[in-house]
Amino acid sequence: MNTLTPGSKIRVLIVDDSAFMRAALSRMIASDPGLEVVATAQSGFEALEKVVKLKPHVVTLDVEMPGLNGLEILKRIMRDCPLPVIMVSSLTQEGAETALEALDLGAFDYVPKRHSFVSLDIVKVRDDLINKIKAAAGSRVGPHYKAARAVPVAAKGAPSADSGTTTIVVIGTSTGGPRALQDILPTLPADLPVGVLVVQHMPIGFTTPFAKRLDNLCQVAVHEAENGTVIQKGHVYIAPAARHMTVCRRSSSEVALQVSPNPSNTLHIPSVDITMLSVAEAYRALAMGIIMTGMGADGAQGMQAIFKAGGLTVGQDEASCVVYGMPRSCAEMGILKRVVALADIPKQILSAVGYHAPREVCAKPTDSSQRPRTRP
């Protein structure tokens, strides 16, 4: 991997078979004085040759390439010359599923192609791409970086001061989040005594296949959130793309989800802040907020609200984050009661909700045909 020295430009290799896309990406990247397009490539073999020869800091890689496809190119980069790769993916279901698979293979992040390069909101798109490239250049990705993976856990040992007080868990994450969530959520037991809300920054078309992907991996049931759904124990709800997810207390025992594009003036839709602020209002000291890997500061206000309401606030530590942005913002505000590695987050959840397994908790096989069907 080519190490980035202080003050030097971030060297980017653009891989795309479309001349229009190569030009569009080049213009966006070149508009930032801290970035440099070191070369472009229009085929997989050309890309692999230039990765070895030019040693770029970051690669943007089209998912749909002729000959060697994007995933095969990514596999070879990660095997032979690991470095941060940002996938450029269409917003079709197939494109979304491929992008999610790319994250499993070590890609840093993805940029949705249709939204990114033919929309009128070109300034926002360019800024998003540039921010991701800058974050990727200093990130921990690929086979050379392996954070400790979570393992199936049961709450054991002396309970903490917060043990058994939590009745809702809300998780906020962005860059690096899909892989992190796939590490921790499958370790939670089917009879988890609370519901879990997840806000993961994703474009339209991605949250539906992501929720299905998680549902196939997890013992808890995972859904893309729908308006009016009553939160149930042992269920995980993923905020849908382009919609905020909030909660509304209907009674002392019943809380429902609300899904809406409003407010429309937030930097991210869905927004971690919007969800956590509503959770803090509805649950007060009974809420547990978890902030994980991601760029920026979304979630800082929401975590602060949970903290002030007396709830439990947990941040992922820097060592296990792909990008230590969102947790850093909360840590610097002094609103995290605990800072733990990614692998320890499930233990924190089970302790907070007072879960004690009646028997050994086993991870569900990845083969969905062997999935336990009995759920609370």
Question: Catalytic residues, which ones?
Answer: 174, 201, 298
Q: In this structure, are residues 96 and 70 in contact, taking their beta carbons and an 8 Å threshold?
A: no
Report strand pairing: 235-238 vs 244-249. Answer: unpaired
Query: What is the residue-wise DSSP string for 266-278?
Result: SSSSS-HHHHHHH
Query: How far is Cα 218 from Cα 372, in angstroms, rounded to an integer?
Result: 9
Q: In what order do the strands lie in the sheet with 10-15?
A: 35-41, 10-15, 58-62, 85-89, 109-112
Question: What is the rounded distance in angstroms from the CA atom of residue 27 to the CA atom of residue 283?
Answer: 47
**For residue 33, what is the DSSP state?**
T
* Helix (H) or strand (E) segment spanning residue 253: none
Spatial contact of 320 and 342, defined as CB atoms under 8 Å apart: yes
Residue 24 neighbours by CB under 8 Å, 6+ apart: 117
Q: Which helix (H) or strand (E) holds 310?
A: none
Question: What does the block give as tokens for 192?
Answer: 């988890």
3-state secondary structure 150-167: CCCCCCCCCCCCCCCCCC
Return the amino acid letter for 364. Answer: K
Per the listing, tokens 């890609």 go with 107
CB 311 within 8 A of CB 287: yes
Q: 287-291 and 312-316: which strand pairing?
A: parallel
Under 8 Å between Cβ of 35 and 85: no
